[in-house]
Amino acid sequence: MLEGGMASADHPLCPVFKAAGSAALLARKMGVTPQAVHQWRKIPPLRVLEVERITGISRSDLRPDLYPIAKGAKSGMAGVSL
C-alpha cells in the first residue's frame, strides 16, 4: 500500500515506483517528499531525465508525449502503460 491507503497497483506510475524500489525510495533519490511523488499522475517534464537515470526506464516510455519513439525503434517497456 502507498501512503494514504492507495494500493500501489492503482497508481498510474506503479511501474516507475517498482523500478525505483518504491515511491519513497524514488522520492529520496530525487530529494523530494514521498507525498510529492504520489501526487504525480505523469512524470513532470523537468524530472523525466532524472527518473530515467534512477529507474532505467527510457524517457520515451516515461513521457512519450515529450520524447516520441523514433520510427522503427522499439520501446523498452512494450505493453506497459504509464
pLDDT score, position 1? 43
Rounded mean pLDDT of the chain?
A: 85
pLDDT in tens, 30-44: 999 999 999 999 999
C-alpha cell at 22: 518504491
> What's the whole-model pTM score?
0.75
Q: Which sequence spans correspond to the domains of the chain?
A: 3-60
